[in-house]
Amino acid sequence: MNAHTVVNPILPGCHPDPSICRVGDDYYLVTSTFEYLPGLPVHHSRDLRSWRVVGHATPSVDLSEVRSSGGLYAPTIRFHDGRFYVVCTVVQEPGATGRSGNYVVTATDPAGPWSEPVWLTGAEGGFDPSLLFDDDGRAWYCGTRPAPAPQFEGHTEVWLRELDLDALALVGPEHVLWEGAVRGAVWAEGPHVYRIGDWYYLLSAEGGTAEHHAIVVARSDSVTGPYVGDRANPVLTHRHLGRAYPLYAVGHADLVELQDGSWYAVLLAVRHGAALGRETHLVPVTWEDGWPVFASGVGLVTAEVPAPALPEHPWDDPRALVDTFEAPEVDPRWDAVRARPSEVSRLEPGALVLPLRAETLHDRATPAFVGRRLEHVAADVDLVVDVVPRPGELAGLALRLSDDDHLALVVALDDEGRRGVRALRTCRGERSTHGWLAVEDGPVLLRAAVRGRAVAFSAGAPGAAPQDVAAFDDDTLDPLPSVHFTGTWVGAYGTSDGRPTSTELRVLRYEVHPA
């Protein structure tokens, strides 16, 4: 890494809707996690280059019935008077047992423990919440909600209300601050309000979270408005560059001031042709005539940006690309679907064990799946597993974009009871089976060679060259944000396909080889 630059994305893989705060020399960042738990990972950095997960700001929320790309939306993290605050939205389908709405959790240590959620009465029906702690000691909550008298589809408004910090309750009147910079702009969302000098600044996104995403800014001399937009709006977007540009969907930013008074912003963007989803990027911010200028002189999110004036502080993380499950606890980057990893697996010395479940990856349920974000455009992902399946059972490696879109390479039995490996594809809900490779008893190496959205599966004995099973070069893992808010997770999966079972999948090694 060049000592004078920071490589984008700073958080590769599905890390959308980033929010950041600084506490002294430390930076903390959270992102959306939707149906995945433990959810809302709290990332820590001291140089804005190298990040590690120190905890999860996720309370006890019921996500057991959320749809794909439902669940935990757009958190904001702030620090005030010795305490961290995270506000977040939970999106559930009508009739679900779990609660929807906006809540706040607090902690004195970002690693936790975090408090149980305090649900904010008066914020129902809204999303993308944020907090401002003003210089006078007052606190303010802002968020987005559908306009009560919409003039067009996707017409939203940004609103603000005071937050009583003792009761953690919204008090006083509401104030509508913003409906978008462009007339008819859809989905004015992702708002943050800041007190900077004599001005209050409102940073927001609009245009939808796909290729027309954009960042806009307004300011006021009063926190409650009125707000006047910057004549330079949108202050950052890639929507004018066309769909062939390598990076699109730039938006949903949050500002942070460094120790030396310089400024940066974190934001989301999508790498074209990859299966990764919306990732967290970094851009420098300067100020001209009282307005923020994003990526001055360039006006784009670039692959490298000037490094901040901070000492390099890389974290020593030997498990970044290899996990042999020898640690006393599961790596905090492992997730499960609609449940925590501890609810569908257990850690033993040298193995992560998944009891097979009746649920499958295409059920809106909690399957036996534990995965990590796919973080590389091109990589070989290896999983060494050991399983003795019964007839009809499947267990192995899976790449999951959603309930309706996923690929798997599984150990199974053929019609004559012989053990082998086959590939499974589910695209837009349509399922199919591909290939077959006989394998001996004992551990099996399963490999997914990912090249953009193309995936080639191979398998064999550990230590030997794997043999081809099947390949897919289509849109199964296409994370176009207008369809999927998530990216691809890759990990271990096992199902008895509706039958009772005592079969267990033992995962012995996870390894990523960037290509």
User: Which one of 35, 128, 157, 189 is the catalytic residue?
Assistant: 189
Radius of gyration of the chain (CA): 23
CA dist 171 and 186 (Å) reads 29
User: Which one of 17, 254, 279, 335 is the catalytic residue?
Assistant: 17
CA dist 487 and 321 (Å) reads 18
Q: Which two tokens stand for residue 512?
A: 């990523």
Q: What are phi and psi of 283, to 5 degrees?
A: -135, 145
CA dist 27 and 49 (Å) reads 11
On whether the CB atoms of residues 424 and 405 are closer than 8 A, the answer is no
What is the torsion angle, in degrees rounded to the nearest 10, for the CA atoms of residue 364, residue 369, residue 373 and residue 377? -90
Catalytic, 25? Answer no
Q: What are phi and psi of 239, to 5 degrees?
A: -70, -20
Question: Can you point out the beta strands (E) in 327-377?
Answer: 335-337, 346-348, 351-355, 368-373
Catalytic, 189? Answer yes
What is the torsion angle, in degrees rounded to the nearest 10, for the CA atoms of residue 352, residue 358, residue 364 and residue 368? 0
On whether the CB atoms of residues 419 and 443 are closer than 8 A, the answer is no
CA dist 461 and 437 (Å) reads 12
Cis peptide before 308 (omega within 30 of 0): no
Distances from the Cα of 508 to the Cαs of 344, 389, 455, 487, in angstroms?
A: 16, 17, 22, 25
What residues are annotated to the active site? 17, 189
